[in-house]
C-alpha cells in the first residue's frame, strides 16, 4: 500500500514537471505602452499599440527603434519579435525600410498558426496591397511620362 502511494506521488510529481515552462516576462511595461494607461490584454493588442507608436516616430527615433527591434529578434526569434520587426521594417520612407524582409518574417508567422497568425495574415495582405499599388503607380507614371514626351514631340513638330 505504501509503495502504491509512493508510486502515485512520484507519477504526479513527474507529470507536474511536464507542463510548459514559460520564461518570466519582464515586469516593466513595453516603451510603447503609455504609463497609467490600460495595459494590453494580449500580444496582438500590444503589437497594435506598438504600430501606433512607431508610425509617429521621426527618422532618428525610428532608427533607434529599428535597432531595438532587430536586437530583440536576434536574442529571441519569437513570433512577437518577428511581427514587431516586420512592422518597423514596413514603415515607408525610412532608410531601413525592407518590405520584402517584412513579408518574409510575417509569412513565417502567418503559416505557423500561432496566436499572432491572424495579425500576421492581415499585415501580409496590407503589405502585398501596398506593393501592388506602388507597382501600379510606377506603371502609371511611366505612361504619363510617355504621353508628356509624345506631347513635346508633337509641339516641336508643329513649330
Helices (H) then strands (E): counts for the chain: 6, 0
Q: For residue 61, what are the CA distances in angstroms to 34, 57, 91, 145?
A: 17, 6, 13, 37
Record the pTM: 0.71
Write out pLDDT tens, residues 100-155. 999 999 999 999 888 999 999 999 999 999 889 988 999 999 999 999 999 999 88
Amino acid at each position: 500500500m505504501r509503495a502504491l502511494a509512493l508510486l502515485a506521488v512520484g507519477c504526479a510529481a513527474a507529470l507536474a514537471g511536464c507542463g510548459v515552462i514559460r520564461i518570466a516576462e519582464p515586469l516593466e511595461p513595453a516603451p510603447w505602452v503609455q504609463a497609467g494607461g490600460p495595459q494590453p490584454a494580449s500580444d496582438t493588442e500590444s503589437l497594435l499599440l506598438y504600430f501606433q507608436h512607431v508610425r509617429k516616430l521621426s527618422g532618428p527615433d525610428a532608427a533607434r527603434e529599428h535597432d531595438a527591434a532587430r536586437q530583440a529578434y536576434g536574442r529571441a526569434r519569437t513570433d512577437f519579435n518577428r511581427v514587431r520587426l516586420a512592422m518597423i521594417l514596413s514603415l515607408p520612407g525610412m532608410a531601413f525600410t525592407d518590405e520584402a524582409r517584412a513579408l518574409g518574417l510575417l509569412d513565417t508567422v502567418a503559416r505557423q498558426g500561432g496566436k499572432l497568425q491572424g495579425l500576421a495574415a492581415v499585415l501580409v495582405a496590407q503589405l502585398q496591397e501596398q506593393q501592388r499599388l506602388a507597382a501600379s503607380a510606377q506603371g502609371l507614371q511611366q505612361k504619363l511620362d510617355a504621353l508628356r514626351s509624345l506631347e513635346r514631340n508633337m509641339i516641336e513638330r508643329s513649330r
